[in-house]
């Protein structure tokens, strides 16, 4: 029996017992008072197996009209028709089933919180090419999953990869997360559904500026973004981060990331060469004594991390395609060692 079923059964038996008691005594008034006090407590969200602090879905009753309103409030135009919107929504159940099967195959189970976050977010809202200022919303929930260009060399990752990284991060409701590479904004929106605060940095100025306007129309109030070089993290966030996630491939973990990672925190990062198929997803974990442990997971393919990363990698002697001359480090910090794979 489910927890809320147990409480309903207790309430039923409680009411029956007091009804019999009230018939055999003159304490009918006392019975009524006790029932009025006790039964609402049984019906509370906490006792019914629901988390009273759980975030409400941004758009539980998502309709074509609300899609248009949110899209326009974000400063973008859409060509999606009502008929196309209906066809897109008809594909969503299959999309969720595919994510569930994929996570179960990779992890042995699909985290319900990850699944709920995917269910809550209207993916079609994030299908937009910012450089050409055109939407491709009608392709949402596609199968097989694929990546899409966003402009200026940035891309929207496929949903299976996003699901894998989200479950691998094991986000908690009390966590503060940093993402390097805002892109379409979908990934940080997904994480925001499962954590306390979500921060994201985008190095491409026109993309980061435009995407910063898409969160408020969806009711996502715990997402914070800015344009800048993610190599240096977000030092102004007090207390640091429980999760730091890279959505671009790097050659090593920037040293500032370890300084901004909380004990017990984890860094999820693709490591490898730009535009090469030798990239591997790594997780770095910091224990309570601030020792760092790394482990490699699956082969991946991400766009390269721009800015200081490439120059620092060349300075370390790492061959990076398209870069021949290293620049002087901005803060003089020594780069972190390459992953051990342990």
Angle made by CA atoms 191, 174, 168, in degrees to the nearest 5: 45
Angle (deg, nearest 10), helices 28-42 and 3-23: 180
CA atoms within 13 A on the CB side of 243: 28
Structure tokens at 284: 């770095």
Q: Buried b vs exposed e over 242-273: b needs ≥16 C-beta within 10 Å?
A: bbbbbbbbbbbbbbbbbebbbeebbbbbbbbb
Dihedrals phi, psi of 34, to nearest 5 degrees: -65, -40
Count Cβ atoms within 10 A of the Cβ of residue 52 and give its class: 0-12 exposed, 13-18 middle, 19 or more buried: exposed
- Residues pairing with 178 in the sheet: 199, 244
Residues in the chain: 342
> Alpha-carbon distance 132 to 135, whole Å?
9
Strands 261-271 and 241-246: parallel
> Which segments of the chain are extended strands (E)?
128-129, 134-135, 148-151, 154-156, 176-180, 197-202, 223-227, 241-246, 261-271, 280-286, 292-299
Q: Which of 137, 154, 157, 200 is catalytic?
A: 157
> Alpha-carbon distance 131 to 120, whole Å?
27
CA R_g for the chain: 24
Q: Which of 77, 50, 79, 56 is nearest to 218 (CA)?
A: 56
Q: Which of 184, 130, 180, 135 is nearest to 155 (CA)?
A: 184
Angle made by CA atoms 157, 238, 222, in degrees to the nearest 5: 45
Catalytic annotation present for 189: no
Active site residues: 157
């Amino acid at each position: 029996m489910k927890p809320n079923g147990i409480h309903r059964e207790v309430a039923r038996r409680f009411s029956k017992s007091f009804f019999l008691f009230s018939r055999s005594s003159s304490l009918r008034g006392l019975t009524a008072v006790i029932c009025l006090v006790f039964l609402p407590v049984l019906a509370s969200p906490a006792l019914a197996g629901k988390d009273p602090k759980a975030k409400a879905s941004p758009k539980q009753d998502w309709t074509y009209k609300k899609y248009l309103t949110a899209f326009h409030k974000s400063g973008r135009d859409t060509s999606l028709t009502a008929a196309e919107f209906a066809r897109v929504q008809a594909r969503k159940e299959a999309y969720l089933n595919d994510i569930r099967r994929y996570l179960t195959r990779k992890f042995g189970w699909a985290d319900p919180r990850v699944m709920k976050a995917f269910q809550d977010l209207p993916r079609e809202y994030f299908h937009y090419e910012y450089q050409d200022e055109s939407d491709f919303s009608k392709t949402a929930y596609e199968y097989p999953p694929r990546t899409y260009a966003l402009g200026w060399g940035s891309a929207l990752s496929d949903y299976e990869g996003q699901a894998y990284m989200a479950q691998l991060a094991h986000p908690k409701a009390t966590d503060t997360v940093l993402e390097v590479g805002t892109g379409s904004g979908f990934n940080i929106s997904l994480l925001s559904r499962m954590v306390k605060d979500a921060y994201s940095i985008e190095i491409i100025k026109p993309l980061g500026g435009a995407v910063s306007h898409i969160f408020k129309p969806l009711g996502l109030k715990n997402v914070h973004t800015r344009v800048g070089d993610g190599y240096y993290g977000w030092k102004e966030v007090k207390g640091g981060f429980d999760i730091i996630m890279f959505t671009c491939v790097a050659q090593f973990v920037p040293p500032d990331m370890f300084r901004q990672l909380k004990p017990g925190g984890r860094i999820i990062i693709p490591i490898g060469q730009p535009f090469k198929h030798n990239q591997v997803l790594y997780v770095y974990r910091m224990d309570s004594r601030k020792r760092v442990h790394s482990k490699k997971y699956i082969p991946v393919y991400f766009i390269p991390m721009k800015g200081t990363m490439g120059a620092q990698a060349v300075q370390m002697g790492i061959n990076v395609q398209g870069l021949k001359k290293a620049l002087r480090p901005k803060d003089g910090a020594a780069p972190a060692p390459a992953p051990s794979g342990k």
